[in-house]
A and B are shown apart, each in its own frame.
Chain A
Amino acid sequence: MSTPRESLGAARIYLALALLAAGREIDGPSLEEGAAALGLGPDPAASAALSHLVREVRRLEPRLAAAPAPPPPTQVPASGLYVYGIAAGALQPLAPDLRGVDGSLVVTLRYRELIAIAHHSPARPYATAEQDLVMQWAQEHAHVLEAAVSAFASVIPFQFNVIVEDGAEPAPDRLAAWLGAHYEEMQALAARLRGRREYGVRIEAGPRAASPAAEPAASSGLQYLRQAKDERDQARMEAAQDAALAERCLGALRQVSAAVEAEPTRDTPGLVLKCSCLVDAEGAPGFLQALEDIESDMAVRVEVTGPWPAYTFARLWASMP
């Protein structure tokens, strides 16, 4: 004899099977929901027991367990993360519609106190033979980092084309692992770069004092070589003067910068100094004034570019990926 309770139980079993076939998750609450929809009376205990039973069966019967998985997310699956850089110290939110290389939407991923600025990308590097396209991508990369500098106190910029690929684990996990392994280093670098921007400085010698008058053409081999010697000595003296001048300029720049990194000038005639300077944001007016003073005091020509995110110093002070 079937009691009303048993009939209700049977209905629930059918309901459970129906939900299973439809790929829905079988748990107590969803069974209860379905039961209510069918006009069956509430019986949470029966639903719970039934769903437990179904789960056990699923474990044992792979065929039964092959219910369709939940529908995948609708966006195109990406196979890598293109990373623009690492930031710390949020000042204001990044624009949610910020786009970077190739128009890709920029996302941020947080790992403890560090934030990676990235976009979902194909696994392969961005490459093309078209010069214009390369320039465009480079500008888009730089544009994202410029936005980051306004949004965060510290920005560690990466070079173009740093891409974390999906591997044994998805790219975000691999990036998190890298950040975990380099955490102290990145934090220390972020601290050194906080509130600072990079400037490129190029200093060229002013007009030379008293160049020797052009000599008449040599009339003998001996005279020819003597003139050559004089030219060489003159060039050496000018190089020594430039070196001394470079030292003075460096000294002046170090007074107004957090750090200065000079490049070797490699005998480029007339080039006194080429360097990158890391300057506090508040110190920028003083820095620019110092450049003007250098120009007038030392009779040189100063060219400055920037402010940039601290590409040179990031590369110099930490192991970049």
Chain B
Amino acid sequence: MGGRIEIDGDNARHGLTALVLALVEVIHAALKLQAVRRMDNGTLAGADLERVGAALMAVEQGLAELKRDLGLADAVSAVRGDLDGLVRQLLEPELQIGDR
């Protein structure tokens, strides 16, 4: 096997792939944060801790490889920025005339 998946940079920016990867990253970050909290308060320890950590690490490495192979690193961080902006807008509708 081998061969690269050619995706046009422009259409990838708005494409499904970048969106899916961005969402997976968001979920991954949430799971990682939860694991750290549980490590802190002792509810995750020992072999379980190692197993969860190793799994999260593997996902992170896999995501990095995918983004590299598909050339989507910039596109994914752009989508994540858009998602953040969208959430912020929903939480704090603003914008008036003359807005900077």
Q: Is the CB of B96 within 8 A of A225?
A: no
B62-100 contacts to A, CB under 8 A, are 88, 91-92, 94, 96-98, 100
Q: For residue B32, which residues in chain A have a CB less than 8 angstroms away from its CB? A: 225, 228
Given pairs A160-B97, A224-B56, A266-B88, 10 additional interface contacts (CB within 8 A): A142-B98, A145-B98, A159-B96, A220-B53, A221-B56, A222-B53, A225-B35, A225-B53, A228-B33, A232-B36
Q: Name which residue of chain B comes closest to A308, CB basis.
A: B98
Q: Is the CB of B36 within 8 A of A229?
A: yes
Q: Is the CB of A228 within 8 A of B100?
A: no
How many angstroms from the CA of A308 to the CA of B33 in the assembled complex? 43
Q: Is B57 an interface residue (CB 8 A)?
A: yes
CB distance from A267 to the nearest CB of B (A): 9
Q: Name which residue of chain B comes closest to A304, CB basis.
A: B100
CB distance from B86 to the nearest CB of A (A): 13
How many angstroms from the CA of A159 to the CA of B98 in the assembled complex? 9
How many angstroms from the CA of A157 to the CA of B57 in the assembled complex? 54
Q: Is the CB of A225 within 8 A of B100?
A: no
CB distance from A221 to the nearest CB of B (A): 3
Q: For residue A305, which residues in chain B have a CB less than 8 angstroms away from its CB? A: 100
Q: Is A120 an interface residue (CB 8 A)?
A: no
A-B contact pairs, 10 of them (CB 8 A): A141-B97, A160-B96, A221-B50, A225-B35, A225-B39, A228-B36, A229-B40, A232-B36, A263-B94, A311-B96
Number of residues of chain A lying within 8 A (CB) of chain B: 28
- Which of these, A145, A200, A224, A229, contacts B57 with CB under 8 Å? A224
Q: Name which residue of chain B comes closest to A200, CB basis.
A: B100
A188-237 contacts to B, CB under 8 A, are 200, 202, 218, 220-225, 228-229, 232
Q: Is the CB of B98 within 8 A of A266?
A: no
Q: Is A315 an interface residue (CB 8 A)?
A: yes
How many angstroms from the CA of A218 to the CA of B49 in the assembled complex? 14
Q: Name which residue of chain B comes closest to A138, CB basis.
A: B97
- Which of these, B36, B50, B88, B94, contacts A220 with CB under 8 Å? B50
- Which of these, A157, A159, A232, A264, contacts B33 with CB under 8 Å? A232
Q: For residue B24, which residues in chain A have a CB less than 8 angstroms away from its CB? A: none
Q: Is the CB of A218 within 8 A of B39?
A: no
Q: Is B52 an interface residue (CB 8 A)?
A: yes
On B, residues with C-beta under 8 Å from A are 32-33, 35-36, 39-40, 49-57, 88, 91-92, 94, 96-98, 100
How many angstroms from the CA of A222 to the CA of B44 in the assembled complex? 11
A263-321 contacts to B, CB under 8 A, are 263-264, 266, 305, 308-309, 311-312, 315
Q: For residue A225, which residues in chain B have a CB less than 8 angstroms away from its CB? A: 32, 35-36, 39, 49, 52-53, 56
Given contacts A218-B57, A221-B56, A229-B40, whether A159 and B50 have CB atoms under 8 Å apart is no
Q: Which one of B33, B53, B91 has the greatest number of beta carbons of chain A within 10 Å?
A: B53
How many angstroms from the CA of A315 to the CA of B55 in the assembled complex? 51
CB distance from A149 to the nearest CB of B (A): 12
Q: Name which residue of chain A comes closest to B57, CB basis.
A: A224
Q: For residue A142, which residues in chain B have a CB less than 8 angstroms away from its CB? A: 97-98
Q: For residue A220, which residues in chain B have a CB less than 8 angstroms away from its CB? A: 50, 53-54
Q: Name which residue of chain B comes closest to A266, CB basis.
A: B88
Given contacts A221-B52, A225-B49, whether A266 and B96 have CB atoms under 8 Å apart is no
How many angstroms from the CA of A224 to the CA of B39 in the assembled complex? 12
Q: For residue B92, which residues in chain A have a CB less than 8 angstroms away from its CB? A: 263-264, 266
